[in-house]
Amino acid sequence: MRITVDSELCVGAGQCVLSAPEVFDQDDDGLVVVLEPHPAPGEHHTVHQAGDLCPAHAITVHED
């Protein structure tokens, strides 16, 4: 699994951080930051949930 984000789409809702705080954070402007672009298998469910909950669709989860 690999995660990419489009920070220009991000609206700072923070759903990603609430869903997967080990993988996502927000910068000083409230925009998404990926802490772990290749999360461990145990994080895959929460990463998918974060992508699904993102209101701006700024998170893309790639299954490699």
Tell me: pLDDT of 64 over 90. Answer: no
CA 59 to each of CA 20, 33, 46: distance values in angstroms, whole numbers, following the listed order = 12, 10, 13
In order of start, what are the domains of the chain with their CATH numbers?
2-62 (3.30.70.20)
Is 22 strand, coil or helix? coil
The arithmetic mean of pLDDT across residues 55-59, rounded, is 97
DSSP conformational letter for 16: H
Alpha-carbon Rg of the chain, whole angstroms?
10
Check residue 13 and give its pLDDT. 97
pTM of this structure: 0.93
pLDDT digits (tens, 9 = 90+) for 2-47: 999 999 999 999 999 999 999 999 999 999 999 999 999 999 999 9
